[in-house]
Structure 1
Amino acid sequence: MPFRSGLRSLVTSVFAVVFCMSAAHPNPGFADEGMYLFNELPTQLLKERHQFTPTAQWAKSLQLSSVRFNSGGSGSFVSSNGLVLTNHHVASDTLQKLSTPDRNLVDNGYLASDPGQELKAPDLELNVLIEMIDVTQRVQAAVTQHGDAEAAAKQRQASIATIEKESTDETGLRSDVVTLFGGAQYHLYRYKKYTDVRLVWAPETKAAFFGGDADNFEYPRYNLDATIFRVYENDQPAQLEHFLKWSDVPLKEDDLIFVSGHPGRTQRIFTVEALEYLRDVRLPFILDYLRRKEVLLQQYRLESNEAARRGRDELFGIQNGRKAYTGMLAGLQDPQTIASKRGRQNRLKSAALASPELAPLVVAFDQIAEIQTEKAAHLRESVSLRSDLFSFALSIVLMTQEDLKPNAERYPEYTESARESMLTRLTSPAPLYDDLQRVKLADEIALLMERRGGDDELVREVLAGRSPQEVAAELVAQTKIGDPAVREELIAGGYNAVLGSNDPMVQLARKIEPVFRSVRQTTDQLDEREKQAYAQISRIITAAEGTSGYPDATFTLRLAFGTVKGYRENGQPVEPTTDLAGAFTHSAEHEGQEDFDLPQSWLDAKESLDLTTQLNFVSTADIIGGNSGSPVVDRKGNLVGLIFDGNIQSLTSDYLYSDAQSRAVSVSGVGIKEAIRKIYQAPSLADQLGR
C-alpha cells in the first residue's frame, strides 16, 4: 500500500535535509499522468481524451467531500451524518491508540452497534479544503534581499506567517500557504478542521491486509482495506451538506474514474544530479535506517504477546516503508530512468541557451548539482531522537522558545496559525508504553553515537559515562513527560517553566536543542537555495513546454484521473478487477500461510455472500503515498472505490510516471458495502452510506 504521509514524514525528518520544495510544470506526456490543483483542473485535456467536462458544481462538491487525515492519508465524507471513509492502514495509528491489552482493534476490528459505542480518537484531526487564494504577488513582493538566500528566506517566511495569521484570525479556519511550481506560485489554503472524530467500523487486519507483505504492492489483490469514522460537532454527529453518493454499479474495463486525495511528495522536477544523489546516497541511507528499525521492532515484539500488540503498527509502517523505498531505489537503478531524465534535461538546457533571456538561468542546474554534494556531507548530522517521549520534550522546548519571538519569525510549525494542530499532537492522551519507549530511545542514542562518534561533545554530554541503554532506562523511568497533564502544564508555563523543570527528558531536550537548531539552519538554507534554483528551472520548463501541467505533490488536495485497465506482467495479462470468490480461492491456494488466512467472519458468511461481487480493481490514475484512503468517483461524482495501494511498477511515480504497467489499486465500493452488510452484519451502517 502507498505508505502514509505520516510515515514518509517520520522517515524524512530523521535526516538533515528534507525535500519540501514543490516542482515546476511537469509535462503530462504519458496518457493520464497528473495530480491537478482543484483551482486549475485540466478541463481541456479531459474533454479531448475522455469527452468529459467537469462542471464547477461537480468539482466543488468533490472538493468539499474530500478529507485529509493529519496522521497521513486521505478520506471522504460518505453520508450527511458525518461518516468518513478511509483505509484501515490509514486508520491503524488510531486503532492502535484505542486498543488495550484486552481489546485489540487493529487485529480484531470493531463495530459500533449504536452511536454511543463510537470510540473517540485521542488526537486525530481531519481537514477539509474550503478555499484556495492565490497570494503569489504578496509573497514575492515581500522579498527584497534576492542576493542573500538566508535573508530572502526569512522575508518570505515572515510574509507567509503574516498571511496565515491574518487568514486564521479572519475566518477561524486552518490557513496554510502552499508553495507551488518551485516558488512560481503561492496559494493560501483554508481548511475546516474536525477534531472530534470517532471510530465506527474497522475490519480485521486479516481482511484489510490479506496476503500480508507478500502481496503488498502486488496485484491481483483481494483486500478490504477500509475503515469508517464519524465526525462530530458539539458532541453530535456533524450534519454535512457535501458528501459522496455511493454507486452500486461495479466498474468495468475502460471506465473513466477520478481520484480526489492528498498525494504526499513527488520529485518529478528533480534534475539528473538530484536523482543520482537519491540513488547513490539518500535512499540507501534511508533503507539502512528502516532495516535497523525493522529488526529492532521485530526483536521487541518477540518478548510477549502484549509487546507484539504494542509494536505491531509501528513495525507495519516501517516494513511498508522499507518495501516502498526498495521499489523506488530499484527504479532509479534502472539506467533507462536516468537516461530518460537526462535526455529531457539536455533538451531544456539547449532550449534555454538559445534564448538570451533564459540562458543565464541554466546555471541553476549546476547550482543544484553543488547542493547535492552539500546534502551528502550533512546527511548524518540529525539529532532528532525518534522516540515519542523525547519528541514531546523537544517540541515543548522549541515551542516555548518560539513563542518568545514575533509570529513572523517562528518556525512554520510553531506559528499561531499552526498552533492548534500542534497542541492536539502534544496533548494527546494516547497511551505510551515504557518498555517500547525505552527500546526506541536506547537505539536512537546508540545511533547518535555511531553517526557523530564517541568523542563528539554532544554524545559525551548525553551519555555522561553511561551506555545508551542505561541512559534510556533512567530517562524513561524518571520522566513525567508521558503524562499529557504534565505536558499541558509545561506549555502553559512557557519557557520559564521549561527552564525550571528538573524532568530529565526536558533537560536532555535542552542539551540537544542548540545543535538541533544549528542542523536545521543548515537544512533550511540548503532547502531555500535549492527551491530558488528549481524556480529558475521552472521558468525554463514553462518557456520550453508551456504552462499546462501540475505542480509536484505537497500533501494538498489534487485531482487525478484515469481508466480502469489491466496490464501485462511476465508476458501474461492481468485482469483489472477481482471479486469475493477470488479471495477465497487465493486463500485456499496459500493454505498453511498465515497471511493468507481469511478471518473467521468471512468463513462464517461465505454462504450468504454474492461471491461475484467486485472486491478490488486497478486503474491508470496517477497516485503516490498520501493518496491512501482517497475516494475514487465516476463521471457523476459517485463513489465507486477507495485507493489503498499501487502495484510494484508504480513505485517510481515519485519521480517518473508511466501507464505501461503502473497501476493504482482500489477497494471497490460495491465490495465494501457487501462486506459491511453481510460479513459484519451491519445493515444499518450500510444503509447510511451515500445518503
Structure 2
Amino acid sequence: MRKLSLSLLLPALFCINAHGDEGMWLFNALPTAQLKQKYDFDVTQEWTNHVRLASVRFNSGGSASFISSNGLVLTNHHVAADTLYKLSTPQRNIADEGYYATSPEQELKAPDLELNQLVAIRDVTEEVNASVQEGMPAGEASKARQAAMARIEQQSKDESGLRSDVVTLYGGGRYHLYQYKQYTDVRLVWAPEAKTAFFGGDADNFEYPRFCLDVTIFRVYENNQPAKIEHFLEANPNGAQAEELVFVSGNPGRTQRILTAEALEYQRDHRMPRVLDLLRRKEILLQQYALGGPEQARRGHDELFGIQNSRKAYTGMLEGLQTPGFINRKQESAAALQAAAGSDSAWKTIAAVQQKRIELQSRTGSLRSQLYGIAEDLVLMAAEDQLSSGERLREFRDSNRQSLEQALFSPAPLYDDLERVQLADELARFAETRGGSDSLVQQVLAGKSPRQRASELLADTQLFDVAARKKLAAAGTSGIANSQDALIQLAKILEPEYRALRTLTEELDEQERQAYATITEAKFSAEGESVYPDATFTLRLAYGAVKGYQEDGQDIPANTTLGGAFEHETAHGKTDDWILPESWHAAREQLDASTPFNFVCTADIIGGNSGSPVIDREGKLVGVIFDGNIQSLTADFYHSETQGRAVAVHIAAVLEALDKVYDAQALRQQIGH
C-alpha cells in the first residue's frame, strides 16, 4: 500500500527515456507512437480528455476517479484512512468496522478533504524563465523565479476561479500551469472493514499474491447537493484479461530517476539512512503508545500504519541503491550527456550541492508534531501576509489560501496524550540532532527535560480549539506578537532558524534546478523530447499489460480470486491479520468464488498512485491501484518489469462485494451511471 508519507518530501527532478512499459507520461505529451507500435492503440484527444477529467487527486496524498454522474468517487481504503479515523469515535470505529450510508442524509462530511480535478494544462516555461537574468546569484534567481510563478498562478486563479499551480518539470527544464477544479465538500458513502481492506497486514504489504478489498467510496457535493459530473468511468465488470493493455491514470508522488551519480550517493549514504532511522524511531514510539490501551491503539493506528508502510518502502528503495551496478551505470551514462552538453559543469554543480546538503544535516528548525505544525503555520502566515503574494513562501500565497485554511482550521480531533508523546519525542530528537549544548536547544527546552517541556507546552496552548486558531489568524502580526500561547511562543523562537534553513535549501534547490535544466536540454538534444519527467504528484498516464511473473521458480498468476481469499485465511490459521470479517463468512455461499479479486500489471507506478483507476482501451474502469510488489520498490530510481508489478483491486470484486457482502445494491447500481 503506497501511502505518500515522507516520500512526498523527496525533490522532484526529471526525465528518462522509456523502455518496455516504463513511463509516467504527461497528459499533454503522451507516447502515441509507442502505444501504436507495441499495442496497436490509437490515442485520441477525446479519449485523453475523458480520462483526465474522470481522474481525481486527493490533495492530502493519493488518487481516485469519478465513477458516477452524481459525484461518486472511488479510491483506496488506505488513502481514505486519515478521514476514516477523523470520522471515528471510541463508540463508532469506522476505520475498523466499515461504514455504509444507505441514504444521502447518512453520508458523513469529511472534516478537511480537498479533491482536485485537472481541467487544463498550459506551458509557461518562457514566462518563468524570463524572470531570471543571466548571472543572477542563486538566491536572487530563486526569489525571481518564485515570484514569476506566483504571478502566473494568481492571474490564472483570478481569471478562471480555478486552483492554479505552476509545476516544475524536468528539474527546471519546463514549467507547466495546472488548473484544477476543487471539491471541498466531500462525504463518505461506503468503506469496508479494515480486516478486508488490509487483509494480510504488514506481512503481506508489498507482496503478491494479495487478497485485499482496499477501496472506499466518497461523494463530492456542490451547493449542498451531489455534484453533477460529466466525465466519469463506466465499469467493465469482466476486467482486462491476461496480456491485455491497461492504463493507470493517477498522481505519482516523486521519482528521482535521473539523479546524477553523486546525487544518488547522497541519497544512499546520507538522506535515506537518516529517514529510515526516523521512521524506525517513530514506529517504536507509536507501538509503545498503543500499549496504553484500546483507545490509544485506535488513535495512533493510522499514523503507525503509514510509518510502517514507509519504512518498508524505504528499505526496498535503499536496497536498490546499495546495488553497486546501478550507480556505476549512472556514471557511465553521464559521459554521453556531458558530450551533448559540451561541458561537465552541471554535474560538478550538483556534486557540490550534495556536499552542502550533508553539512546542513545537523541543523533543524522545526518539529514534526501536528499541533506544533499548526503553531508554526500561524506564525509564518502572519509574517508572510505582510508581503505581496508573489514574495511569500509558496504555501502562503493567495492562490493557495483556500487549501491552507482548510487544513489549518480542520475540525478533525487532536488527542492531548498523543500530541504530548510525539512532541516530547520531537524535542528529544531536536536536542540529539543539534547537540544538548546548542544555544537554540537550550532556549527551546527552557531548562526542562523534553518530556517535561512537552507537558508544559501543551498545558499552556489553546490551539486544540479551532475557534482559537481562527481568532489568532485574524489578529495577524499583532496577535502573534502579543500571544501568550506556549506553542506560538515556541514557534517564534524557532522561526529565524526555520527561515534561515529554508533560504539555504532554496538556494541549493535553485543551483540544482539550473544544472538539471542544462542536463535536460542535453538529453533532449541527444535523444529527442519523447521522454517523460520525474513524478511531481501531478496527473500522469502509465500503461502496461495484465501479466503474471516468475518468482523463485514459481509462476505467479496475473490475478487472484475471491475464493482464494478464504484459502489464504485458512493457510495462515485464521489468526492475526489473516482473519476475514464476519460479513465475508456470512456471505461466502453467495459469493462467486471464481471472481477476480486482485491483479497485477506492468504499468509504471509509485507512491501517490494509490487509488488510481485502471482503465481498459475503451476507457472503462477495470480496477483500482493499491500497491506494488516487493520487486517494484526500486521505482523511485528505475522501472523494471521483469518481476516488478503494480497491484490492483479488480472492479469485479468491488461489485460482487457491494452486492453480496454489504447489501449495497443501490450503491452498486449508481456506479457508471
Q: Does 1:689 align with 2:656?
A: no
In the TM superposition, what whole-angstrom CA distance separates every residue of 1:137-191 from its partner, at most 9, and x where no partner exists? 1111111153411111111111100010111111111000001112121111100
**Any idea what SS the aligned residue of 1:170 has?**
helix
Partner of 2:632: 650
* Alignment match of 2:100 (pick from 76, 89, 111): 111
Partner of 1:15: none
* Alignment match of 1:22 (pick from 4, 13, 24): 13
In the TM superposition, what whole-angstrom CA distance separates every residue of 1:39-71 from its partner, at most 9, and x where no partner exists? 111111111111001211111011011000011
Partner of 2:232: 243
* Alignment match of 2:142 (pick from 143, 146, 153): 153
* Alignment match of 2:596 (pick from 603, 607, 614): 614
Partner of 1:16: none
Provide the rounded CA distance (Å) in 2 between the counterparts of 1:267 and 1:8: 11
Provide the rounded CA distance (Å) in 1 between the counterparts of 2:329 and 2:552: 23
**Any idea what SS the aligned residue of 1:594 has?**
coil
Provide the rounded CA distance (Å) in 1 between the counterparts of 2:239 and 2:115: 29
Provide the rounded CA distance (Å) in 1 between the counterparts of 2:497 and 2:6: 24
Q: Does 1:230 align with 2:219?
A: yes
Partner of 2:322: 333
* Alignment match of 1:52 (pick from 41, 61, 83): 41
- Output the amino acid matched with 2:625: I
TM-score normalized with structure 1 length: 0.96
| Post-superposition offset of 1:7 | 4.4
Please identify, of 542-551 and 194-203, the stretch whose mean Cα deviation from structure 2 is larger: 542-551
Q: Where do residues 289-438 of structure 1 align in structure 2 (5 Å cutoff)?
A: 289-349=278-338, 351-352=339-340, 358-360=341-343, 362-438=344-420
**Any idea what SS the aligned residue of 2:426 has?**
helix
Provide the rounded CA distance (Å) in 2 between the counterparts of 1:70 and 1:131: 17
Provide the rounded CA distance (Å) in 1 between the counterparts of 2:333 and 2:309: 32
| Post-superposition offset of 1:384 | 1.8
Provide the rounded CA distance (Å) in 2 between the counterparts of 1:590 and 1:182: 47
Provide the rounded CA distance (Å) in 2 between the counterparts of 1:376 and 1:261: 33
Provide the rounded CA distance (Å) in 1 between the counterparts of 2:649 and 2:333: 36
Partner of 1:508: 490
Q: Where do residues 135-154 of structure 1 align in structure 2 (5 Å cutoff)?
A: 135-154=124-143
Provide the rounded CA distance (Å) in 2 between the counterparts of 1:542 and 1:251: 35
Q: Where do residues 172-571 of structure 1 align in structure 2 (5 Å cutoff)?
A: 172-349=161-338, 351-352=339-340, 358-360=341-343, 362-571=344-553
TM-score normalized with structure 2 length: 0.99
| Post-superposition offset of 1:345 | 1.9
| Post-superposition offset of 1:498 | 0.9
**Any idea what SS the aligned residue of 2:236 has?**
coil
Provide the rounded CA distance (Å) in 1 between the counterparts of 2:222 and 2:92: 27
Provide the rounded CA distance (Å) in 2 between the counterparts of 1:368 and 1:136: 22
Whether contact under 8 Å (1:605, 1:679) holds in the other structure is yes
| Post-superposition offset of 1:547 | 1.2
- Output the amino acid matched with 1:22: L
Provide the rounded CA distance (Å) in 1 between the counterparts of 2:500 and 2:561: 55
In the TM superposition, what whole-angstrom CA distance separates every residue of 1:644-677 from its partner, at most 9, and x where no partner exists? 0000111101111111111000000111110111
**Any idea what SS the aligned residue of 1:653 has?**
helix
Partner of 1:68: 57
Whether contact under 8 Å (1:124, 1:195) holds in the other structure is yes
Partner of 2:651: 669
Whether contact under 8 Å (2:628, 2:645) holds in the other structure is yes
Whether contact under 8 Å (2:239, 2:623) holds in the other structure is no
**Any idea what SS the aligned residue of 1:123 has?**
coil
Whether contact under 8 Å (1:7, 1:72) holds in the other structure is no
**Any idea what SS the aligned residue of 2:589 has?**
helix
| Post-superposition offset of 1:31 | 0.5
Provide the rounded CA distance (Å) in 2 between the counterparts of 1:262 and 1:123: 20
- Output the amino acid matched with 1:442: A
Q: Does 1:3 align with 2:7?
A: no
**Any idea what SS the aligned residue of 1:626 has?**
coil
Whether contact under 8 Å (1:75, 1:261) holds in the other structure is yes
Provide the rounded CA distance (Å) in 1 between the counterparts of 2:476 and 2:644: 51
Whether contact under 8 Å (1:263, 1:553) holds in the other structure is yes
| Post-superposition offset of 1:466 | 0.7
**Any idea what SS the aligned residue of 1:428 has?**
coil
Whether contact under 8 Å (1:263, 1:555) holds in the other structure is yes
| Post-superposition offset of 1:593 | 2.8
Whether contact under 8 Å (1:7, 1:317) holds in the other structure is no
| Post-superposition offset of 1:251 | 2.5
- Output the amino acid matched with 2:17: N
Whether contact under 8 Å (1:173, 1:190) holds in the other structure is yes
Provide the rounded CA distance (Å) in 2 between the counterparts of 1:196 and 1:640: 27
| Post-superposition offset of 1:20 | 2.9
| Post-superposition offset of 1:592 | 4.5
Provide the rounded CA distance (Å) in 1 between the counterparts of 2:578 and 2:329: 39
Whether contact under 8 Å (2:11, 2:256) holds in the other structure is no
In the TM superposition, what whole-angstrom CA distance separates every residue of 1:80-123 from its partner, at most 9, and x where no partner exists? 00000000000000001001011111111111111101000000
**Any idea what SS the aligned residue of 1:550 has?**
coil
In the TM superposition, what whole-angstrom CA distance separates every residue of 1:494-529 from its partner, at most 9, and x where no partner exists? 111111111111111111111110111111111111
Whether contact under 8 Å (1:67, 1:74) holds in the other structure is yes
- Output the amino acid matched with 1:379: Q
* Alignment match of 1:632 (pick from 595, 604, 614): 614
- Output the amino acid matched with 2:391: E
**Any idea what SS the aligned residue of 1:616 has?**
strand
Provide the rounded CA distance (Å) in 2 between the counterparts of 1:66 and 1:250: 19
Whether contact under 8 Å (1:21, 1:531) holds in the other structure is no
Provide the rounded CA distance (Å) in 2 between the counterparts of 1:145 and 1:520: 23
Specify every segment of 5 or more residues in structure 1 that has no aligned partner in the other structure, as ranges. Answer: 13-18, 353-357
**Any idea what SS the aligned residue of 1:191 has?**
strand
Q: Does 1:86 align with 2:85?
A: no
Structure 1 residue ranges (4+ consecutive) displaced by more than 3 angstroms after TM superposition: none
Provide the rounded CA distance (Å) in 2 between the counterparts of 1:338 and 1:615: 38
Whether contact under 8 Å (1:614, 1:670) holds in the other structure is yes
Provide the rounded CA distance (Å) in 2 between the counterparts of 1:387 and 1:145: 41
Whether contact under 8 Å (2:99, 2:190) holds in the other structure is yes
Whether contact under 8 Å (1:121, 1:198) holds in the other structure is yes
Partner of 1:355: none
Partner of 1:594: 576
Provide the rounded CA distance (Å) in 1 between the counterparts of 2:123 and 2:375: 37
**Any idea what SS the aligned residue of 2:176 has?**
strand
